[in-house]
Structure 1
Amino acid sequence: MLLLTPSLSNTALPPATATRLPDEDWHWAQVNPYLSGPGFAIAAHGSGPSAAWPQDASVVLVVPPQRLSWHLVRLPKVPARKRLAALHGLLEEALLDDPAQLQFALPPGHPAAGTAQGLTWVATCDRAWLDACLASLRAAGRPALRIAPAFPPPADATTQLWISAETGTAWLHIGGPAGLISLPLAAFVAQDASACATLLSAAQGKTSASVPPVCTATPDAMAEAQAALPALPWKTEPQAQQWLRGVNSGWNLAQFELRDALGARRGQALLERLKPFWQAPRWRPLRWGAAALVMVQIIGLHTWAWRDRAALRALRLETQRTATQTFPKLTVVLDAPRQMQRELDAMRHGAGQLGPADLESLLQAMGATPALAGLQLESLRYSAREVRLRHAPGEPVRAALALAAARQGWTLQAGSGGTPGSAGTVESVLKRD
């Protein structure tokens, strides 16, 4: 998965100046979001134009915290098609911009993702700037599959502090159950101690005041973080690790009108949704179980086929043994039933007995059929395993002839029995294999 986020110079770009962002002002990180461990999922990271980005089919646009605003609202129960209009009405007084110019997003799993107080997080972002980012990615041949926030609200009662630095400016991001705040670290330090404590407690809220915050900082901002807030337990963490945390939070800002406007192929989106099933550690038992089930089926089919082949070979050998024991003259058995029938016919002829293949047996069977009683044959021609009869036409005669012939192992050829002959007769052809 390739995470792409615009630099702070891009975030400061006025939305109306261009429809695309500068190609050279992007940060990227190639990660595996389904591996655990700090930094373990980050394969590579860097900055630069699109030509320097690694190849990856899954592209996620990560929105910096400076470009997002977060609001806790109590959503009314409205149909999905009216939800955006309801958000416009709820947040109209709290927003500095026209709601029509903003992109709104609800948390993953909405409406079941509300807080204990029945409030729901709503993210807003400048739509023109977001469209410029997406247009830049499409122009680079890297359409985004998702839009994730770099610093989403915490999923539990934990308060998180994250300090990142870019272009020489350190930014402090505070996220807690009661709110999210992003401001320059210098502006935070410039306030007095009581104001700083009030800001932290406002983000923590009542439910997490006793829970120690999680404090992380990028390597280039660690010194400033420890100097500004020395009492907090700071840990160094790559910037891409926080992006990955935002991706794994499940938030997707591509909602409402923007949902179908990402320009990504449906096959890529389906592949992205299926990736957790074969990469995420939590699905490993299911993958092993499915693989074991497939292997059992394959082994079972092969075992079944092997047993059937073995039984067929045993039956063939038994048939050949019976043929050679019954007819000692058979030295090579290729088709045991046919060869045994021929030997039996030869023995019958040698003893002067009639067999089913003899013409006399066929005529006796025809004479014993009531429907053929009184049948006048105009002609009869007999050759090896073929009899041609010319007789009066009629479907009942033909059906009775086929039945009598079948009793002796003869077959009435298709299409015969209907060929006109002289004096209103037809010819039927009987053959024996």
Structure 2
Amino acid sequence: MTSFLITLPIGSADAAALYDYVLAADGGTEARCASVPLALLPMPPDRQTEVLVLLPIQALSWHQVQLPKGSLARGLMAERGASRLRAILDGLLEDQLLDEPAQLHLALQPQPVVDAPVWVVACDKAWLGAHLQALAQAGLAASRIVPEFTPEALAQTLYVVGDTHQPMLVGKNLVPCALTPGTVAWLGEPAAQGDLPELVAEPAVAALAESLFKRPVTLLQRSQRLLLAAQTAWDLAQFDLVNANRDRVWAKLALGAQSLLHALPWRAARLAMLALVLVNLVGLNVWALREQAALQAKRQAVRSVLTGTFPKIPVVVDAPLQMTREVSALQRASGAASSTDMEAMLAALAAVVPVTQTLTSLDYVAQELRTKVPAVSAAEQARVALALKQQGLAASWDGMQWLLKQGPTP
């Protein structure tokens, strides 16, 4: 995925402010970098580009605090407890901050815990909000906000950055200072040579760093250093920027989906997924056709039994019901009792209704039995109807009477 890293200027978000940017292709290969006004920032080359905002170390202050137990809500309660956690941080940092906490944006380190000191980074809220709004209006909404340096990056490394006119030294105290002989002397030398931190310098100030520290340095281009900073797990979009953070998460998921749909490395996976879907569709259709053919064969067998047994039936509509009616007619013609006779219906009804129910009237016409009984509850109606259905009778409650007639074969 292409990364578009934009470093915010220290000054205000006006037309004269210069934004350093680095545009890197997949794998971190640098494409181009420059320092331009906001209006001249290039647009992302494609929809898969991740826009990252980097905050310079001069704009940040770092603090360590010990969080009280229960202050870190997890899961679904995290967002609801954010305001409470912010109030706790305001109280813990009140004596460490130079400005009022309400004027500052605060962010915690990734995956903080209450059992150990936690890093908190602070910056001017108005300054950050103005730059983020200006970038968003220019069509460059940030996917993530990262610091230029982190405590982990400076634990065993000294960085010399800037140019010959304004060289700066950044160490584990997270406070940038001018690179001078006095600064180097103040740092002092560790007692053991093996304890020396790694010295990393940008090419413009590498010679100066070697002459002052009296030892070789590791060269690192500024653009590559910024790209490495963007690869950390830090994201400063917290608390006041929680909604923007949620939008960035969705934007990141959208970028991932677009990468899956369009990126060349995922082409084989896309083809395999498409083939799997097609195979499943073909298989489901073949299975449905076989089931439909089997069901049609069973229906045809029932129709054949009906037409073979009763050739006089001209049209087959509902074979099981027509078969039942013809059998009942034969039984009546032969004098044998059938399930649609009044006696059979009364016997079936008497077997399922409560013994306390008393029939008050009977009416049997055209193989339909109507009998009045006292009021029946809805649950009782459902129970009786289900029991009679299992015996091939359709029972329904009509006002104050039961209506029984021939039903489908159970």
Q: TM-score range by the shorter chain?
A: 0.5 to 0.7
Match of 2:7 in 1: 5
Per-residue deviation, 1:134: 1.6
Per the TM alignment, residue 131 of structure 1 is displaced from its structure 2 partner at its CA by 1.6
- Of 55, 66, 72, the residue aligned with 1:63 is 55
Is residue 260 from structure 1 mapped to residue 239 from structure 2 by the alignment?
Answer: yes
1:49 aligns with 2:38: yes
- Shift in CA distance, 346/132, structure 1 to aligned 2, threshold 3 Å: same
Q: Counterpart of 2:133 in structure 1: which amino acid?
A: R
Equivalence for 2:199 = 213
- Does the Cα contact within 8 Å between 1:161 and 1:174 map onto a contact in 2? yes
Aligned counterpart, 1:386: 368
For residues 359 and 92 of structure 2, what CA distance do their matches in structure 1 show?
94
Q: Residues 329-357 of structure 1: CA distance to partner in whole angstroms, max 9, x if unpaired?
A: 48987644334434534554565544323
Q: Which of residues 210, 223, 230 is equivalent to 1:247?
A: 230
What secondary structure does 1:431 align onto?
strand
Return the alpha-carbon distance in structure 1 between the equivalents of residues 241 and 299 of structure 2.
70
- SS, match of residue 54 in structure 2: strand
Cα-to-partner distance string for 1:325-383 (whole Å, 9 max, x where unaligned): 57524898764433443453455456554432345654787899997999786x84623
1:357/1:301 CA distance change after superposition, 3 Å: farther
Q: Tell me if structure 1 keeps the 8 A contact 2:393–2:406.
A: yes
From 201, 206, 219, the counterpart of 1:225? 206
Change (3 A) 1:110 1:372: closer
> Any residues of structure 2 matched to 1:322-333 within 5 Å, and which?
324=304, 328=308, 329=311
Change (3 A) 1:319 1:213: same
Unpaired runs of 5+ residues, structure 1, are 14-19, 281-291, 419-427
Consecutive unaligned residues of structure 2, counting only runs of 5 or more, are: 72-86, 260-271
Aligned partners of 1:70 and 1:124 also within 8 Å: yes
Asked if the contact 2:158/2:169 (under 8 Å) is kept, the reply is yes
SS at match of 1:4: strand
**One-letter amino acid of the structure 2 residue matched with residue 159 of structure 1:** T
Q: 1:172 offset after TM fit, Å?
A: 3.8
Residues 20 and 34 of structure 2 are in contact (CA less than 8 Å); yes or no, is this contact kept in structure 1? yes
- Tell me which residue corresponds to 1:286: none
Structure 1 pair 180/375, CA: closer, same or farther in 2 (3 Å)?
closer
Taking a change above 3 Å as real, the CA distance of residues 411 and 66 of structure 1, as seen in their structure-2 partners, is: closer
1:190-209 matched pairs, under 5 angstroms: 191=181, 198=185, 209=195
Report deviation, 1:122. Answer: 6.1
How many Å apart are 1:246 and its aligned residue? 2.8
Aligned-pair CA distance for 1:264? 4.4
Match of 1:149 among 147, 155, 170: 147
CA distance in 1 between counterparts of 2:317 and 2:122 reads: 82
Which residue of structure 2 lines up, in the alignment, with residue 131 of structure 1?
Answer: 126
Secondary structure in 2 matching 1:213: strand
Over the aligned positions, Cα root-mean-square deviation in angstroms equals 5.9
CA distance in 2, matches of 1:2, 1:347: 88
> TM-score by structure 1 length?
0.56
Please tell me whether the aligned partners of residues 146 and 236 of structure 2 are also in contact (alpha carbons under 8 angstroms): yes
Q: 2:156 aligns with which of 158, 165, 170?
A: 158
1:23 aligned counterpart, secondary structure: coil
- Rate the CA distance shift 1:177–1:28 in 2: closer, same or farther, 3 A: closer
Q: Match for 1:237: what amino acid?
A: Q
Contact 1:158–1:213 (Cα < 8 Å) also in 2: no
Counterpart of 1:237 in structure 2 is 221
SS of the residue 2:240 aligns to: coil
What's the offset of the Cα at 1:402?
8.2
The CA distance in 1 between the partners of 2:21 and 2:295, in whole Å, is: 66
Q: What amino acid is aligned across from residue 54 of structure 2 in structure 1?
A: V
* 1:288 counterpart residue number: none
Structure whose alpha-carbon radius of gyration is higher = 1
| Cα offset, 1:410, TM superposition | 4.0
Tell me how far 1:305 sits from its aligned partner.
10
> Which residue in the other structure is 1:314 paired with?
294
Residue identity (%)? 22
Residue by residue, what CA displacement relative to the aligned partner does 1:138-196 show, whole Å, maximum 9, x if unpaired?
Answer: 2554576764322333447531435345xxx665444444665443xxx64xx4xxx57
Q: Using the alignment, how far apart are the partners of 2:387 and 2:234 within structure 1? A: 81
Q: What does residue range 332-371 of structure 1 map to in structure 2 within 5 Å?
A: 335-345=318-328, 347-348=330-331, 351=334, 353-358=336-341, 361-362=344-345
Looking at structure 2, the residues matched to 139 and 160 of structure 1 have their Cα atoms a distance apart, in angstroms, of: 33
Amino acid at match of 2:37: G
Structure 2 length-normalised TM? 0.58
Deviation at 1:309, TM superposition (A): 7.8
Give SS of 1:314's match. Answer: helix
Q: 2:250 aligns with which of 251, 271, 285?
A: 271
Q: How many residues align?
A: 360
* Cα deviation, residue 201, structure 1: 5.6
Q: What is the CA distance between 1:124 and its match in structure 2?
A: 5.4
The answer (yes or no) to whether the contact 2:57–2:147 under 8 Å persists in 1 is: yes
Aligned partner of 2:78 in structure 1 is: none
- Rounded to whole Å, the distance in 2 between the matches of 1:368 and 1:47 is 93
Are 1:431 and 2:410 counterparts? Answer: no
- Equivalent residues in 2 for 1:168-179 (5 A)? 171-177=166-172
Q: Distance in 2 between matches of 1:23 and 1:215?
A: 31
